[in-house]
Amino acid sequence: MTDRPSIGFIGAGLMGHGMAKNLVEAGYPLTVMAHRNREPIEDLIERGASEAEDVAGIAKSCAVVFLCLPGSPQVEEAVSAILAADGSVKTIIDTSTANPVSTRALAERCEASGITLVDAPLSRTPKEAWEGTLDVMAGASEAAFEKVKPLLDVIAGKVVRVGEVGAGHTMKLLNNFISLGYAALYSEALAIGGKNGVSPEVFHSVIGGGRMDCGFYQTFMDYVVGGNPNAHKFALKNAHKDMRYLVSLANESGIASHVSSAVKNDFATAEALGKGDQYLPTVADIVAGLNGVPGKKL
């Protein structure tokens, strides 16, 4: 891919905007498509991107298509539209967090049409997306990975091939299980502490800087004790979606899902309470409220 192929980008949202910005600024011909929010699209056009009216328009003019969508239903819809367009697409790079079972099925459909599907989900936040320092875990054959790696290097500071197609989305779900498990654990620990005279500030003074500290803990507590509403821009409804995928994968694999199901239920509860659009660290307030512990009014 040293000849800078034409790239289509579907899903220029919180993460996708920065990724697309880095691709067009690296000199790749870029075509984007608006959804609900035109602000990122207008910014990308000002930077040199073109706009297509629909997925078919992107499929007709682009050799590579990036997807950065909410989940498997949206990915399946986009891939079906690309296949139906019978355009010039040779490679689809799906950076969404999706269900690996769906991913593998889509890869087979794409292969039958002469298209290579690579799952390349992301770790980190919109800040790193804008800076081009995301972590990418890619599922692809060694040959396909070598072809797409120059593009992934534009959007990421760390790119790891984790296995064949579907392995990227599997690893992403495992990554999110660990981080969302931390969120559930912190929230319950804070609620127990709050009920027994240990404030979040005292909790943080003990855990922060110790062996249990980590980058995720710091962003989580930047909201809890720092009051930063944008400390971790990841919606609770997306956390619930990712944990549903993880529990489904565990069940299909015959793995007892005691812990993952419990974590999933925290986020299912948050979304059932109408809090799905709130960002991840606010789960601490929800757990506190459900247990009668004073906290922020949400």
**Statement to judge: residues 276 and 186 lie in one domain:** yes
User: For 30-40, how does the pLDDT look when each residue is reduced to its tens digit (9 = 90+)?
Assistant: 999 987 789 99
User: For 132-187, how does the pLDDT look when each residue is reduced to its tens digit (9 = 90+)?
Assistant: 999 999 999 999 999 999 999 999 999 999 999 999 999 999 999 999 999 999 99
**Statement to judge: residues 182 and 112 lie in one domain:** no
* Burial class for 274, CB neighbours closer than 10 Å (0-12, 13-18, 19+): exposed
Residue at 1 is within a domain: no
Q: Is 172 a catalytic residue?
A: yes
Closest-CA residue to 286 (of 58, 275, 78, 133): 275
Residue 159 φ/ψ, nearest 5 degrees = -125, 120
User: For 8-57, how does the pLDDT look when each residue is reduced to its tens digit (9 = 90+)?
Assistant: 999 999 899 999 999 999 999 999 998 778 999 999 999 999 999 999 99
* CATH code for the domain of 86: 3.40.50.720
Q: How many CB atoms lie within 10 A of CB 71?
A: 17
**Bridge-partner residues for 163, per DSSP?**
139
Last residue of a domain, one of 126, 143, 163: 163
**Statement to judge: residues 153 and 14 lie in one domain:** yes
**Statement to judge: residues 129 and 260 lie in one domain:** no
- Say how far apart CA 56 and CA 189 lie, in whole Å: 49
Say whether pTM exceeds 0.85: yes
**Statement to judge: residues 101 and 233 lie in one domain:** no
**Statement to judge: residues 110 and 258 lie in one domain:** no
Report the domain count for the chain.
2
List 172, 241, 264, 275, catalytic entry: 172
